[in-house]
Amino acid sequence: MSTRRTTIRRALGLIAVAMTAIATGAVNAQEVVVGGKGFTEQQLIAEMTSQLLAANGIKPDKRVGMGSAVLRQALESGQIDVCWEYTGTALSLAYKDTEKYTAEQGYEKIRSLDAAKGIVWLKPTRVNNTYAIGMLRSKSSALGIKSISDLGNAYKGGKNIMIGTNAEFAARPDGLPGVQKTYGFTVPLDSIVKMDFGLSFQALRDSQVEAAMVTSTDGRIIAFDVLVLNDDKAFFPIYLMTPVARKEALDKNPKLAGLLESLAAKLDSDTILKLNAAVDVDKKSVESVANGFLKQQGLIKG
């Protein structure tokens, strides 16, 4: 009898261990690392994602502040599970592809290429956050510069125009080097002022630079009365913001794809511009803006 009781206890112990392992595995399966870059739009979308996941029983681990190359490396290596990336950025950065595609063509191309790496591009937003070069309207009028061709002609004519850019844009093929090649001009090295991306509008306002790298969905374009120079040779690719996830994370979390796509469906360029402005111009917190939008759209309960 004693031996039988011992056997039963051991069996029950093994069952308890197994159940604990299953429960632990279930918890781990619900943890999702959300990655993001350092600028406002990326901080907002990462925060919205984190709040949306948390409201639906998935524990988020938010990690923002990365550059594009670091974010991509983190995605490929499995250090993050989810991020929101731009089609043009991924094609240029990961595959050195600078072909001119329509929004649909670019999306299908990167979706196909990344599938082989276990990276899934879900249904995209209608946000095209393309790079651009901007000037204060007053400065643009004074210098007679309305397009990138005008800017190039000014450099060719020997005008000393200071241009603000972050280190990434100054080196990327879809950044300043590509602009110069396509438009056939050279910016003197002493005319390039490198700065954090978030400082570019202040630098324009304070006349530290005459032109600066901007992105088309930045709310400060309106607030600072900035003219986005016409890209008259259509150099800048379409940067369709899209939720991207590792296939492994999607398999572990069956609700994940649907949640990400439900958020993507609510976003377009005008909407994200206003959300960005709420943070950068109205000085509201990223957390409150994200929470307010999710509640307004019925994605989480108020």
- pLDDT tens for each residue of 136-165: 999 999 999 999 999 999 999 999 999 999
The predicted pLDDT at position 198 comes to: 80
Domains and CATH numbers, the chain: 11-17+22-128+239-296 (3.40.190.10), 131-228 (3.40.190.120)
Predicted TM-score (pTM) of this structure? 0.78
Q: What is the pLDDT of residue 174?
A: 85
pLDDT at 2: 46
Q: What is the 3-state secondary structure of the chain?
A: CHHHHHHHHHHHHHHHHHHHHHHHHHHHHCEEEEEEECCHHHHHHHHHHHHHHHHCCCEEEEEEEECHHHHHHHHHHCCCCEEEEEHHHHHHHHHCCCCCCCHHHHHHHHHHHHHCCCEEECCCCECECCEEEEEEHHHHHHHCCCEHHHHHHHHHCCCCCCEEECHHHHHCCCCHHHHHHHHCCCCCHHHEEECCHHHHHHHHHCCCCCEEEEECCCCHHHHCCEEECECCCCCCCCCEEEEEEEHHHHHHCCCHHHHHHHHHCCCEHHHHHHHHHHHHCCCCCHHHHHHHHHHHCCCCCC
Question: Which portions of the chain are predicted below pLDDT 70?
Answer: 1-29
Question: What was the pLDDT predicted at 193?
Answer: 97
Write down the pLDDT at residue 26: 39
